[in-house]
Amino acid sequence: FNFFQGIVITPLLLLLFLGSSSSVPFTSIFSQLFMTVVVPLIIGQIVRRYIKDWLERKKPPFGTISSCVLLMIIYTTFCDTFANPNIDLDKFSLIIIVFIIFSVQMSFMFLTFIFSTRSNSSFTPADTVAIIFCSTHKSLTLGIPMLKIVFAGYEHLSLISVPLLIYHPAQILLGSLLVPTIKSWMVSRQKALKLTRQPKAPVKV
């Protein structure tokens, strides 16, 4: 749902910051996004019901295939973006964008940690870890096709793609750096919860 919200929010932000406006073919955009995102998801869920047992027996290397495809998408997107002569992005601006992206990513992760560990929250430590990483995750595999659909023909498409190109590697880097700390917190938290839930031994008089 958040991805479809971006269709409305992104043009409004561009109008606010860039001061330029243009007509947006919402019907065409929604139909292309439906065919690109929703239809493959529905087909995959239907097919999965019939080949689930076969997949569990054969165990094809979908993890390796997914990683290779993702790496190819990142590589080709980087090439398309920075090979464009109209990108007009200096080194200082790129450093500022990287700093902002890392700050936004850290802020999102910190806020999700605070909200999921409140005293009135019913989330377990494992739930908190999943929320921190999953709720802040944005992938190039869906973001780039959406940008190409929404901003088809726009001359500064490469420039718009830069924040997403930085955000995706940033979340991988931050995740790898934070895993040991979050893992130790989760283990200690789970041990503390087990100790508090253990029944106390009766006192002999």
Do 14 and 99 fall within a single domain?
no
Q: What is the pLDDT of residues 22-81, one digit of tens each?
A: 565 667 767 777 787 778 878 988 888 888 888 788 888 877 887 788 778 778 777 777
Residue pair 86/155 in contact by the 8 Å Cβ criterion: yes
- Write the CA distances from 4 to 18, 152, 159, integer angstroms: 22, 16, 21
Question: pLDDT category, 191, cuts 50, 70, 90?
Answer: confident
Do 77 and 165 fall within a single domain?
yes
DSSP code per residue over the chain: -HHHHHHHHHHHHHHHHH-------HHHHHHHHIIIIIHHHHHHHHHHHHHHHHHHHH---HHHHHHHHHHHHHHHHHHHHHT-TT----HHHHHHHHHHHHHHHHHHHHHHHHHHTSTT----HHHHHHHHHHTT---HHHHHHHHHHHTTT-TTHHHHHHHHHHHHHHHHHHHHHHHHHHHHHHHHHHHHHHHHHSPPPPPP-
Do 71 and 145 fall within a single domain?
yes
Do 78 and 125 fall within a single domain?
yes
Do 177 and 89 fall within a single domain?
yes
Do 156 and 85 fall within a single domain?
yes
Range of the domain at 18: 1-60
Q: What is the pLDDT of residues 121-163, one digit of tens each?
A: 788 888 888 888 888 777 777 777 777 777 777 777 777 778 8
Query: Does the predicted TM-score (pTM) go above 0.85?
Result: no
| pLDDT of amino acid 119 | 79
**CA-CA-CA-CA torsion sign (127, 100, 146, 161):** negative
d(CA 18, CA 33): 25
Do 108 and 76 fall within a single domain?
yes
Do 19 and 85 fall within a single domain?
no
